[in-house]
Amino acid sequence: MTSKLRFAAIGAALFVVAPVDGVRAADAVGLASWYQLPGRTACGGRHNPEAMTAAHRTLPCGSTIKVTNLSNGRSAVVTIVDRGPFVRGRIVDISRGAARKIGLIDRGVGRVSIARH
């Protein structure tokens, strides 16, 4: 028996709204960008642009997600250390180091999937 996934679209992001057959509710597909900022993050640490970190609007500080660049299949596991993104239509901001690892550094913005890790 196969289950049907239910989806909700919010802006440019597509979210799975019901966990079905091992798919978690936090999984999403949408736009990601990379960022660096001086000083402290919303979670209290100093921002390290080369660390595997990210900003997400709702996931708890310290949680980890796998971010996969859909144009090339490259992925990185990042830790949530900040809040954001604050640009409409984006689902996650990743550090410069994570962007380099998944091949997003030159374009700046790209379509990704995120999954709780």
Look up the CATH number of domain 23-116.
Answer: 2.40.40.10
pTM, whole model, 2 decimals?
Answer: 0.77
Collapsing DSSP states into helix, strand and coil, what is residue 8? strand
The distance from CA 79 to its chain's CA centroid, rounded to whole angstroms, is 10
Query: Does the pLDDT value for residue 26 go beyond 90?
Result: no
How many other C-beta atoms are found inside a 10 Å radius of the C-beta of residue 52? Answer: 17
Work out the pLDDT band at 11, boundaries 50, 70, 90.
very low
Residue 27, pLDDT score? 87
Residue bearing the bigger pLDDT, 26 or 91: 91
Q: Domain-by-domain residue ranges, the chain?
A: 23-116
Residue 108, pLDDT score? 94
Token couple for 28: 């999403």
Encode pLDDT of 63-82 as tens digits.
999 999 999 999 999 999 99
Token couple for 96: 């410069």
Instruction: Report phi then psi at 99, rounded to 5.
Output: -65, -40
Arithmetic mean of pLDDT over the chain: 84
